[in-house]
A and B are shown apart, each in its own frame.
Chain A
Amino acid sequence: AQSVTQLGSHVSVSEGALVLLRCNYSSSVPPYLFWYVQYPNQGLQLLLKYTSAATLVKGINGFEAEFKKSETSFHLTKPSAHMSDAAEYFCAPLYSSASKIIFGSGTRLSIRP
């Protein structure tokens, strides 16, 4: 079955600390993968996308993610957290056999001063 798992519904880090949000997808065929961010009371904004061109993908706001086929993972990282990064983050694979994006349950990122 096509699914995605985000470990940790809530992650809290200090300002300036490393951000690591975990995502694992389930599939025998690597899908296309996206990370979306949702700020409070706003819509979904694309952070970055993996479409098989490069395994390390850089996105907006200093975020990046690495596709690891052997681990079926696509974890999101940022070297130094900023207060403005506080939001909900969704890992979202798009499988070539379907047109729909499957959203993970989301990880709420909180930043401590």
Chain B
Amino acid sequence: EPEVTQTPSHQVTQMGQEVILRCVPISNHLYFYWYRQILGQKVEFLVSFYNNEISEKSEIFDDQFSVERPDGSNFTLKIRSTKLEDSAMYFCASSEEGVAYEQYFGPGTRLTVT
């Protein structure tokens, strides 16, 4: 069964450093998403991406964040200058098309900022 994959599974970085989290969505999916879950809290939407542009973003997704689909398979989330409060589990998701289709989630990348 096709699945969303994410790398790395765990990333440790120092405050102020740039990180890139990588995702490979399911191949025939057209919509891509990033969510995050701070330890002990609920899952929060960050951004959705369709047709090579951001379709929606939350207030969390400020200028420090960016997303890109550099090729036909990868979808990346970049944090330019990490803060301690960026420590969280980051989930990538993809859906086939349309808002009624379920989003398939990857296993997540745990980001630890020290």
Chain A interface (Cβ < 8 Å from any Cβ of B): 32, 34, 36, 42-46, 49, 51, 90, 94-96, 98-106
Query: Which of B65-73, B77-85, B102-110 is the interface stretch?
Result: B102-110
Interface contacts (Cβ under 8 Å), in number, total 54
Chain B residues within an 8 Å CB radius of A43: 91, 105-108
Which of B42, B48, B104, B106 lies in contact with A103, CB distance below 8 A?
A: B42
- Measured in the bound complex, the distance between the Cα atoms of B31 and A43 in whole Å is 19
Contact across chains for A105 and B104 when beta carbons are under 8 A apart: no
27 A–B contact pairs at CB < 8 A? A34-B102, A42-B107, A42-B108, A43-B91, A43-B105, A43-B107, A43-B108, A44-B43, A44-B105, A46-B104, A49-B102, A90-B43, A94-B99, A94-B100, A96-B100, A99-B33, A99-B48, A99-B50, A99-B55, A99-B99, A100-B58, A101-B35, A101-B103, A103-B35, A103-B44, A103-B45, A106-B42
Interface set, chain B 14-50, CB cutoff 8 A to A: 31, 33, 35, 42-45, 48, 50
Which of B33, B102, B107 lies in contact with A100, CB distance below 8 A?
A: B33
Q: In the assembled complex, how far is the CB of residue A82 from the closest CB belonging to chain B, in whole angstroms?
A: 23
Chain B residues within an 8 Å CB radius of A94: 99-100, 103
Which of A45, A46, A96, A103 lies in contact with B99, CB distance below 8 A?
A: A96
Chain B interface (Cβ < 8 Å from any Cβ of A): 31, 33, 35, 42-45, 48, 50, 55-56, 58, 91, 99-100, 102-108
Main secondary structure of the interface of B (DSSP, over half): strand
Chain A residues within an 8 Å CB radius of B104: 46
Chain B residues within an 8 Å CB radius of A51: 100
Q: In the assembled complex, how far is the CB of residue A27 from the closest CB belonging to chain B, in whole angstroms?
A: 14
